[in-house]
Chain A
Amino acid sequence: DGGITQSPKYLFRKEGQNVTLSCEQNLNHDAMYWYRQDPGQGLRLIYYSQIVNDFQKGDIAEGYSVSREKKESFPLTVTSAQKNPTAFYLCASSTLTGDGTQYFGPGTRLTVL
């Protein structure tokens, strides 16, 4: 069964703590992405990576960090510098060719108390 998994589904953290969200894919896709969704808004790109050990900032990278040590994995760390971390976080992957279709994981709802 090919797909993208994100864990956990729900995550609660205290203000000021860093938290890492997991994203794994077995689609053999080169590119991986992290998005954030807030109520009434579209998906906003946080970071993306086209190849192992390389990644680029998206539109709202401040307060976030990522790593890409393996092709299958692209974890996102929400740091204490992120001013409004409570949101729904989505991970996606795609090939580097074609129409750019991205395939999404089920998402992680992060709530900072």
Chain B
Amino acid sequence: DQQVKQNSPSLSVQEGRISILNCDYTNSMFDYFLWYKKYPAEGPTFLISISSIKDKNEDGRFTVFLNKSAKHLSLHIVPSQPGDSAVYFCAASAQFQGAQKLVFGQGTRLTINP
């Protein structure tokens, strides 16, 4: 049972345009949502997070939108740059046995074309 899903395995965007990465979840108990960026053969790097009580969080070129009724979140990157080419994972966080536990989606490979 996949609680966090990223239905697009890959996405290709032209440099300078907007990249939109999507993520769906099933468990209403998640209280935070996070996005990570990962280059090949490296560990994921934390990008941005959002609390379940908010619907938008912005940090520079990155904005995360949360639609609780649809159990859907998205990451917008504007403008997209070549260095943004990577695999992006969304993760959902919930309290479990005294700790915040993360559940990850399968990832979306973003390619920015010059």
Interface residues of A (CB under 8 A from B): 4, 6, 31, 40-45, 48, 50, 56, 88, 90, 92, 94, 96-107, 109
Interface residues of B (CB under 8 A from A): 4, 6, 9, 31-32, 34, 36, 41-46, 49, 51, 89, 93, 97-102, 104-107
Residue contact B106 to A94, C-beta cutoff 8 Å: no
Distance between Cα atoms of A82 and B85 in the complex (Å): 33
Cβ-defined partner of A104 (8 Å) among B4, B43, B98, B106 = B43
Cβ-defined partner of B105 (8 Å) among A42, A45, A101 = A42
Interface of chain B: mostly helix, strand, loop or mixed: strand
Cβ-defined partner of B44 (8 Å) among A31, A90, A98 = A90
Distance between Cα atoms of A50 and B51 in the complex (Å): 22
**Given A56-B97, A99-B49: A40 touches B9 (CB 8 Å cut-off):** yes
